[in-house]
Amino acid sequence: MGRFIILVLALGALWLLLSGYFDKPLLLGFGAASVLFAALMARRAGIVDNDSVPTGLFPGIFGYWLWLTFEIGKSNIGVIRHALAVEPKLSPKLFYVPCQPKTSVGKATFANSITLTPGTVSVDLGEEGILVHALTEDFADVGAIKEMGDYVARIEGSEA
């Protein structure tokens, strides 16, 4: 039930901010009705769980996003340098990174963070962990990527 209320509040906030109507009762009523309808349909379909409303990741996810932004900035500079180098010295590599997050949202967040960071792309998720393709030997820094996974695992751990 708590999750359902959070979903309604989040959808309501999204509707309000996207529409920009704050003083038209008729339109606000339609908005409230559509938000409730969408939330009830989601509930009826049984998809209001930790995957669609990942309350467990909040509020730690905000600090993580900020940290991730700096990581992305750093590796962007690295990839741009390779793209514009007179003679790019690439040494692509495929390797597995252990996946510490246990929930599916945590795994998705971790794998997406790897992909979002230029220079590394997550290719597959298997028993051994996440299969990562890196642009060069420098980007294939298992320690740094594991650090990212530890961070995500810490955030999702706050729910348990």
Contact positions vs another protein (CB under 8 A): 14, 17-18, 20, 65, 72-73, 76, 79-80, 82-84, 88-94, 111-113, 115-124, 131, 133, 135, 137
- Please, are residues 108 and 158 in contact by the beta-carbon 8 Å criterion? no
CB 48, min distance to another protein, A: 19
Q: CB 106 → another protein: shortest distance, Å?
A: 15
CB of 36 to another protein, least distance (A): 21
The Cα–Cα gap between 93 and 121 comes to 11
Nearer to another protein, 40 or 138 (CB): 138
Q: Which of 154, 150, 146 is nearest to 130 (CA)?
A: 146
State which residue, 6 or 79, has the beta carbon closest to another protein.
Answer: 79
Q: Enumerate the β-bridge partners of residue 75.
A: none
**CB-nearer residue toward another protein: 100 or 120:** 120
Could you give the CA distance from residue 59 to residue 56 in angstroms, rounded to a whole number? Answer: 8
Nearer to another protein, 37 or 65 (CB): 65
Q: Which helix (H) or strand (E) holds 134?
A: strand 129-134
CB of 70 to another protein, least distance (A): 12
Host H or E run for residue 111: helix 104-116
